[in-house]
Amino acid sequence: KTVFFRKDYKAPEYSIEKIDLNFQLYDTKTKVTAISCVRRNNKENRSPLILNGENLQLISVKIDGNVLSSSEYILDNTSLTVLTPPAVFELEIVTEIYPQENKALEGLYQSGPIFCTQCEAEGFRKITYYPDRPDILAVFTTRIEADVEKCPVMLSNGNLIETGSVEEGGRHFVVWKDPFPKPCYLFALVAGRLSCVNDEFITSSGRAVDLKIYVEEKNLNKCDHAMVSLKKAMEWDEKTYGLEYDLDTYMIVAVDDFNMGAMENKGLNIFNSKYVLTSPETATDEDYIGVEGVIAHEYFHNWTGNRVTCRDWFQLSLKEGLTVFRDQNFSAEMNSPTVQRIKDVQILRNFQFREDSGPMAHPVRPETYEEINNFYTVTVYNKGAEVVRMVQTLLGREGFRKGMDLYFHRHDGQAVTCDDFIAAMADATGTDLEQFKNWYCQAGTPVLEVSSHWEADSSSFHLTVTQNCPDTPGQKGKNKKPFHIPLALGLMTENGKDLFGKNGCKTEILHLKEQKQTFTFTNIAEKPVVSFLRDFSAPVDVKTFQQDEELAFLMKYDSNLYNRWESATRLSASTILDVVRQLEKGTPIQFNELFFDGVLHSITEKIEDPALLALALELPPETALALQLDSVDPDLLFQGRTIIKRELATRFQNEFLFLYINNQEAGKYRISPEAMGRRRLKNCALSYLMSLNPPQDKFLQLCIDQFSKSANMTDTITALRLISHHPGTTRDALFTDFYRKWEHDSLVMDKWFAIQAMSSHENCLSTVKHLLSDRLFSMENPNKVRALIGAFSSGNHVQFHAINGEGYSFLADMILQLDSINPQIAARLVSPLTNWKRYEKRRQILMKKELERIAKKPGLSPDVSEIVNKSR
Ligand code: DPP
Ligand code: ZN
């Protein structure tokens, strides 16, 4: 195995100023001719030129027109080394590749009949021999030649400069030129039978940009929302950061087979069709929000990623953390800031905290990796975004904007590091961010403990905070340096007033820099209630330091809406975990009445934002609750959570029914934040009503009616999901119905698979196994794998962790099977097994056994091998 270290970075020996690519696409093979202008960077040192290449059939190598003999280069499975090249030369390499056999979906492959590429991180080396690293920026010109019938549309980066037919019958060609030098991971090619939706955007300086979304013809009517989102994103980036689009055309292509969500290739984004196609009948509200967010994310990369790119892959968060931060802020402005913030935090807490506490924990800027594809993680992306958010909190919005301006001023057209980003922020504002940089190099979630006391005599209030970071792989907690943590704090009186009030700002930012620090506030005439870490101002784990009474108070009255939700969640989690402990001990169940009071208060209070109420009522998922237990018994956890859900449903049946009826859609279907919030609230209420035990026929009927009458996918799929937990002929009939209605729509069918995989019923795994042989399922389609196998193993805690161990061995079987098809996707699936140490003894043994079994497979991919070996 090869291990890469950040400290080993060396600047490239050669640079490539321009590359002309020529693709000749045929049914069974593609011929690639690459002509590069190469220049040695170092005058004295006559080092060999090392080019990366995998799964390539080399046809010829020429330097300045002369064919190299086999003694002038060395060829192995991963590289081509030209031994003694001149200082400046033209390099011509001809290779043959086989896109139709490429099931790993990296490099050039086919999604159905459509040719497309995925080059990030290291896919370009599957197209031709090339120095496949992000710090080599070249001007790309791309000629594509293919059959006119099969590939009427042929696209690449930049501007179309030539088209024509070729002598060989029935074929044609195009030439695209991208004037912006770029790393090869941003290269893209698409060819196939595609239709296109056109629009236009006029930039703030008055340039017209053609906007094009390419899809299969049958999907032309599902592109509106994506197009509107793109235009909103373009406008937002001009308004917020003064960043304009720089080419004459912006193209998006949707394909069905895609490893990631989407890819920001210069001028030619390639998208998983899940993040392009919407219609009320086929897409849920979550899908609409997802499309808006991902379209914006990829668009924002044009500046944060493409114009300024990463020096090496250890710096991945330079572009991803920053771009996630940007798309989160965009979505917050387009929808509801508080709802968006809660969703951001949920991803962080439910997924990133788990990663950060497990065997794959790594810093936002990793120090080492075996397979870079394994580091496209919630840590690099979402914790990375939190780190950028903290910079903004420390500098203020204006200061942050100055920092961004300086960053682009200094680094436009360059490949840089996270240090360069922080330096721009520091220099633009005269802020010392040295200690802050610990966020980039220390893994693990800092744990904060808080204590406070109020002195009546001196009217002063003292808040003491300590920070500790747990051990993570390769980093001992005791050796970690304290983080610079911005703490957004509010102090409130018992009747719900904020004590801080300077310039209308009710929140103060404290700087926690020491391991232990006390903050003193004077003129505090009564004992305040602490509203801590407002808007989740830092990605830390705050140990609950408040009594339930205080949490219940904050849940009702905190002026910071995010913190209302935070308190509600803390209270519901502690209430559930209380029950779990009682179940463990076998003592009679007693409930925390404060929680039920709080919930009743939320339900009956005047509703300002229905989405916020829904979020407060939704109980934390088992995977998030599991993080708070030392030794998880998934059965007890499921039971405890179910008991609380049913208790709420029983006590507040009338209220939930009222919410259900009162939040029905009046009039036309809309996707406004308000309408989406109502649907969420209504469906949350229905979910409670459906959780009653024994089930009540009238609510079941409500659910069935919703299923059959609804004209939007949010309501349809919610009803189907709720019924999925109640096996029987009704359920089977609805699933059959749905199948008949939607079998032609692959994205909708993903939902059909996923829902069945997430049923809490104990026959779930046998259903899942059965579905593997459904004619619509395919191991070669990542969306299908995620929908069925991913949903079961990551989204069905109780059934995946069934004590007979069958969930674990099923997952291991699937990983082994997938490893020889698509290693990247196989590696992603391992995740639920990696945290075996968190589970009770019997499960630990079962999970570990499966990791060992996977590890033993001869020829296991580096992707899966890295994760399995680090976890066992
Ligand atoms: N396409 C992935 C993303 O946008 C990787 N760059 O995050
Ligand atoms: Zn990205």
Predicted confidence (pLDDT) per residue in 621-638, tens digit:
999 999 999 999 999 999
User: Residue 263: CB within 6 Å of ligand 1?
Assistant: yes
- CATH number of the domain enclosing 146: 2.60.40.1730
Contacts of 333 by beta carbon, 8 Å cutoff, 6+ apart: 236
Distance (Å) of CA 472 to CA 55, 414, 762, 858, 865: 36, 33, 36, 29, 20
pLDDT value of residue 501: 78
How many other C-beta atoms lie within 10 A of the C-beta of residue 29? 15
State which ligand 1 atom lies nearest to the alpha carbon of 261: 1
Q: What is the residue-wise DSSP string for 130-151?
A: B---TT--EEEEEEEEEETTT-
Of 535, 433, 426, nearest to 484 by C-alpha is 433
The domain boundary, picked from 193, 215, 246, lies at: 193
Cα 86 to ligand 1 centroid, rounded to whole Å? 37
Bond prior to 428 in cis (omega within 30° of 0): no
Select from 122, 258, 264, 302 the residue to mutate for testing ligand 1; criterion: most ligand atoms less than 8 Å from CB: 264
Report residue 20's pLDDT band, with 50, 70 and 90 as the boundaries.
very high
- CATH number of the domain enclosing 751: 1.25.50.10
pLDDT value of residue 650: 98
User: Residue 264: CB within 6 Å of ligand 1?
Assistant: yes
Q: Which of the ligands is closest to the CA of residue 123? A: 1
State which ligand 1 atom lies nearest to the alpha carbon of 297: 4
H or E stretch covering 568: helix 561-585
**Rounded CA separation 839/856 (Å):** 23
Bond prior to 694 in cis (omega within 30° of 0): yes
Cα 298 to ligand 2 centroid, rounded to whole Å? 6
pLDDT value of residue 72: 97
Cα 271 to ligand 1 centroid, rounded to whole Å? 10
pLDDT value of residue 515: 98
| 582 falls within a domain | no
User: Which candidate in 106, 122, 145, 298 is catalytic?
Assistant: 298
pLDDT value of residue 666: 79
**Catalytic residue at 618?**
no
Of 850, 856, 814, nearest to 834 by C-alpha is 850
Cα 262 to ligand 1 centroid, rounded to whole Å? 6
| 102 falls within a domain | yes
**Rounded CA separation 651/596 (Å):** 9
Q: Count how many domains the chain has.
A: 2
User: Residue 327: CB within 6 Å of ligand 1?
Assistant: no
827 contacts 373 by C-beta, under 8 angstroms:
yes
**Rounded CA separation 630/628 (Å):** 7
Using one digit for the tens of pLDDT, what is the confidence trace for 679-730? 999 999 999 999 999 999 999 999 999 999 999 999 999 999 999 999 999 9
Cα 294 to ligand 1 centroid, rounded to whole Å? 9
What are residue 63's DSSP bridge partners? 66, 91
**Rounded CA separation 243/239 (Å):** 8
Cα 324 to ligand 2 centroid, rounded to whole Å? 7
Contacts of 797 by beta carbon, 8 Å cutoff, 6+ apart: 621, 622, 623, 626, 634, 637, 638
**Rounded CA separation 544/551 (Å):** 9
Report residue 504's pLDDT band, with 50, 70 and 90 as the boundaries.
confident
pLDDT value of residue 163: 98
pLDDT value of residue 505: 85
The domain boundary, picked from 178, 193, 208, lies at: 193
% of the chain surpassing 90 pLDDT: 97
Select from 124, 301, 828 the residue to mutate for testing ligand 1; criterion: most ligand atoms less than 8 Å from CB: 301
Select from 116, 117, 119, 120 the residue to mutate for testing ligand 1; criterion: most ligand atoms less than 8 Å from CB: 120
Report residue 485's pLDDT band, with 50, 70 and 90 as the boundaries.
very high
Q: What is the residue-wise DSSP string for 638-684?
A: HHHHHHHHHHHHHHTHHHHHHHHHHTS--SS---SHHHHHHHHHHHH
Of 320, 147, 304, nearest to 237 by C-alpha is 304
Cα 269 to ligand 2 centroid, rounded to whole Å? 11
What residue owns the CA closest to ligand 1's atom 5? 263
pLDDT value of residue 710: 95
What would the two tokens of residue 255 be? 């394909």
Using one digit for the tens of pLDDT, what is the confidence trace for 351-384? 999 999 999 999 999 999 999 999 999 999 999 9
H or E stretch covering 53: none
Using one digit for the tens of pLDDT, what is the confidence trace for 277-303? 999 999 999 999 999 999 999 999 999
State which ligand 1 atom lies nearest to the alpha carbon of 319: 6
Of 552, 464, 550, 551, nearest to 515 by C-alpha is 464
616 contacts 565 by C-beta, under 8 angstroms:
yes
What is the DSSP code (8-state) at residue 349? Answer: I
User: Residue 120: CB within 6 Å of ligand 1?
Assistant: yes
Q: Span 812-834, mean pLDDT?
A: 98
302 contacts 245 by C-beta, under 8 angstroms:
yes
**CA end-to-end distance (rounded Å), the chain:** 17
Of 123, 101, 97, nearest to 110 by C-alpha is 101
What is the DSSP code (8-state) at residue 788? Answer: I
Of 267, 278, 276, nearest to 301 by C-alpha is 267
| 286 falls within a domain | no
Look at residue 816 and give its three-state secondary structure: helix
**Rounded CA separation 763/814 (Å):** 19
What residue owns the CA closest to ligand 1's atom 1? 263
758 contacts 791 by C-beta, under 8 angstroms:
yes
State which ligand 1 atom lies nearest to the alpha carbon of 305: 6
User: What is the overall mean pLDDT for the chain?
Assistant: 97
What residue owns the CA closest to ligand 1's atom 2? 263
Using one digit for the tens of pLDDT, what is the confidence trace for 133-169? 999 999 999 999 999 999 999 999 999 999 999 998 8
What is the DSSP code (8-state) at residue 691? Answer: T
Look at residue 164 and give its three-state secondary structure: strand
Distance (Å) of CA 772 to CA 318, 757, 810: 39, 11, 11
* HEC sequence for 202-270: ECCCCCEEEEEEEECHHHHHHCHHHHHHHHHHHHHHHHHHCCCCCCCEEEEEEECCCCCCEECCCCEEE
**Rounded CA separation 490/498 (Å):** 7
459 contacts 523 by C-beta, under 8 angstroms:
yes
Position 43 pLDDT exceeds 90: no
The domain boundary, picked from 177, 193, 209, lies at: 193
Long-range contacts of 448-457 (CB under 8 A, 24+ apart): 448/485, 448/512, 448/533, 448/540, 448/541, 448/542, 448/543, 449/543, 449/545, 450/530, 450/532, 450/542, 450/543, 450/545, 451/545, 452/530, 452/545, 454/524, 454/526, 454/527, 454/528
Backbone angles phi and psi of 607, in degrees to 5: -85, 115
pLDDT value of residue 562: 98
Long-range contacts of 511-515 (CB under 8 A, 24+ apart): 511/394, 511/484, 511/485, 511/486, 511/487, 512/448, 512/465, 512/467, 512/482, 512/483, 512/484, 512/485, 512/486, 512/487, 513/435, 513/482, 513/484, 513/485, 514/482, 515/466, 515/467, 515/468, 515/482
Q: What angle do CA 296, 300, 305 make, to 5 degrees?
A: 140
What would the two tokens of residue 307 be? 């114009």
Q: What domain range is 822 assigned to?
A: 743-872
State which ligand 1 atom lies nearest to the alpha carbon of 262: 1
User: Residue 372: CB within 6 Å of ligand 1?
Assistant: no
Look at residue 786 and give its three-state secondary structure: helix
Pairing between β-strand 14-25 and β-strand 30-40 as defined by DSSP bridges: antiparallel
Q: Which of the ligands is closest to the CA of residue 326? A: 2
pLDDT value of residue 42: 87
State the complex-level ipTM: 0.98
User: Residue 80: CB within 6 Å of ligand 1?
Assistant: no
| 248 falls within a domain | no
